[in-house]
Amino acid sequence: MSAHAPAGAGLPVRVEGLVHIYRLFDTEVVALRGVDLTIAAGETVTLFGPSGSGKSTLLAALSGLVRPSAGTVRIGDAEIGRMSERELLRLRRGRVATLLQGAGRNLLPYASPAQNVAFAQRGTGRRHRAEAADELLAGLDLDHLADEPLAALSGGELQRVAIAAAVAGGPGLLLADEPTSQLDAAGRDAVIATLQRVNERFGTTVVAVTHDREVGARLGRQVVMRAGRVGEEGRGDERFVVVGADGALHLPHSERDAWPAGTLVEVRRDGDDLRLVRRQP
């Protein structure tokens, strides 16, 4: 599927062996150590992980804001690492939308919600837009706020307007960084509902970074990152560890104390399954 999928169609994401290293003062920091992740078109995924696990860096890589040091990132058929700045700009223009942490950072503070949506649509051709600004706001139950000053909106309303602005161009992929941070329960619920509506209405693939388990539970698939890699996944109440491209397997965090680093483990085949047996010291 092309990165220029028509509006309303979600874009698949395929990340293989993604490595990103950046320089901080005199030190090189390996933020991503070979991330493998496949997201189907129209899927909703939440990214979990402790601070420094690489969630935000992965989000930045998916939006083309950082270049991979190694590995590939594909949005549809487009490989991010091979795209020029101009192509990346075009990618972000209505194909890949990013929702920054903090609603205010996604909006022009002096413009109304309707003006913000119109501003966000400015760079997008009409045929790529999801809907007209007023229709979009109405579709997300935000039409009553169209002309209100932003300062008059609650935290949840502000974040929903930010989502509307982010998806104003009809993106196939929405990357949201902590969309429910600093919100109360009602606000959080409203934001989650809006994300779901975006996904349902436009088929947009949604990837959200969050610390909120409720978001993960309601958005479906949960991916846990650790130390720059995908460590676990959750679907509903089930938890899985993910085998990496190199065959590495990360123990669930809850089991790491039982088998600390350096523990020798024997892998035994048991039919289609593998059994892990700890070697007794």
Among 4, 19, 72, 92, binds other proteins (CB under 8 A): 92
Q: Would residue 78 be called left, alpha or beta, if left means φ above 0 and alpha means ψ between -120 and 50 degrees?
A: beta
Out of 1, 19, 65, 241, the only residue in the binding site for other proteins (CB under 8 A) is 65
d(CA 170, CA 274): 44
Give dist(CA 144, CA 113) in Å, integer.
10
- Are the C-beta atoms of 9 and 41 separated by less than 8 Å? yes
Instruction: Decide if residue 169 touches other proteins (CB under 8 A).
Output: yes
| Residue 102 binds to other proteins (criterion: CB under 8 A) | yes
Residues 7-46 as x/- pattern, contact with other proteins by CB under 8 A:
----------------------------------------
Tokens matching residue 136? 């979009």
Q: Which two tokens stand for residue 145?
A: 């706020």
Residue 124 per-residue DSSP state: S
Contact flag: residue 110 with other proteins (CB under 8 A): yes
Q: Confirm or reject binding of residue 91 to other proteins (CB under 8 A).
A: yes
Distance CA 79, CA 89 (A): 14
Residues 227, 55: Cα–Cα separation, whole Å? 10
Q: Which of 29, 70, 89, 265 binds other proteins (CB under 8 A)?
A: 89
**Candidate residues 17, 119, 193, 233; the one interacting with other proteins per rule CB under 8 A:** 119
Candidate list 46, 98, 180, 204; residue touching other proteins; CB under 8 A = 98
Give 117 or 251: the residue with its C-beta nearer to other proteins: 117
Per CB under 8 A, the segment of 72-80, 104-112, 129-137, 207-215 that binds other proteins is 104-112
Residues in the chain: 281
d(CA 54, CA 33): 9
Q: Which tokens is 10 given?
A: 């979600």
111 sits near other proteins (criterion: CB under 8 A): yes
Stretch that binds other proteins, among 3-11, 100-108, 187-195, 254-262 (CB under 8 A): 100-108
Choose the binding region for other proteins from 2-10, 37-45, 55-63, 221-229 (rule: CB under 8 A).
Answer: 55-63
- Pick the binder of other proteins from 69, 72, 154, 181 (CB under 8 A): 181
Q: What count of Cα atoms within 13 Å lies in the side-chain half-sphere of residue 98?
A: 18
Q: Which of residues 229-268 bind other proteins (CB under 8 A)?
A: none
Four-residue CA torsion sign, 106, 110, 116, 120: negative
| Residue 60: CB atoms within 10 Å | 19
| Residues engaged in binding other proteins (CB under 8 A) | 56, 60, 63, 65-66, 89-95, 97-98, 100-102, 105-111, 115, 119-120, 122-124, 169, 177-178, 181
